[in-house]
Structure 1
Amino acid sequence: MLSFLVVVLSVLVVGGLLFLGGSLLLGRGESEPPADLDRSPVELPDDRPVTADDVRGLRISVTVRGYRMTEVDWLLEQLAQTIEDRDEQIAALRARVADAGPAPRQEARPADGTPPCGKGAHADA
């Protein structure tokens, strides 16, 4: 009886080692189909401009042969900061334009430089 248990355990251990070795050599099975080349699995809003919080909210899927998460997270933070800076500059410029008010309207003059009819001194007098 003891030899039967040793044989069964030996078969299970050898089978487990073969399965583990095959899994490591052949790679892991993919749980999702490969992404289309023209479509990213990461979604960004189409109905409004992308904001810094949109970029910070991105999460890129990780695989065994994937990317270094710390590098991509750093890159996303830099991108988010750049977008925030740009948005602040745009807001400041819009505020300056709003404070300046509408541009003064200039009166159109004929090409020869004479004042328009009814305006200014006449040379005939």
Structure 2
Amino acid sequence: MTTALIYLVVMLLVAAVVFLVAAVVFGRGEELAPLAPGSSPTRLPAEDINAEDIQRVRFQLVVRGYKMSEVDWVMGRLGAEIDGLRARVRELESESEAAR
């Protein structure tokens, strides 16, 4: 019984030392500092969104996929941009018809 207990204690000590050495050598595995809680890496320009801006959008990962509030924010911004562009097209078309 005593031998098994000593064996278990030695195993736990070896595992702890291996873990600490690996943690010191490899670190947390992150290249950048973690984001502050509630912040977002998602960025879009204030206006004139183009295809390149959309391709560069990145969402914060959470347990079950992407952070829903960020996706909702981007979708809302894109919807507003599309609505604004369509309104501008209608305005220009009506001006064009009135000029004829």
Q: TM-score scaled by structure 2?
A: 0.51
State the identity as a percent: 14
- For residue 76 of structure 1, the aligned residue among 42, 51, 74 is 74
Note the C-alpha offset of 1:33: 7.0
- Structure that is richer in helix per residue: 2
How far apart, CA to CA, are the structure 2 residues paired with 1:90 and 1:11? 70
For 1:92, the aligned partner's letter is: R
CA root-mean-square deviation: 4.3
- Structure 1: distance between partners of 2:80 and 2:18: 51
> Aligned pairs, how many?
80
In our comparison, the structure showing a higher alpha carbon Rg is 1
Unmatched 5+ stretches in structure 2: 35-40
The answer for unaligned runs of 5 or more in structure 1 is: 35-39, 103-125
Task: Output the CA distance in 2 between the equivalents of 1:91 and 1:63.
Answer: 37
1:50 paired with 2:55, answer no
CA distance in 1, matches of 2:16, 2:88: 67
Amino acid at match of 2:86: E
Instruction: Find the partner of 2:90 among 61, 86, 92.
Output: 92
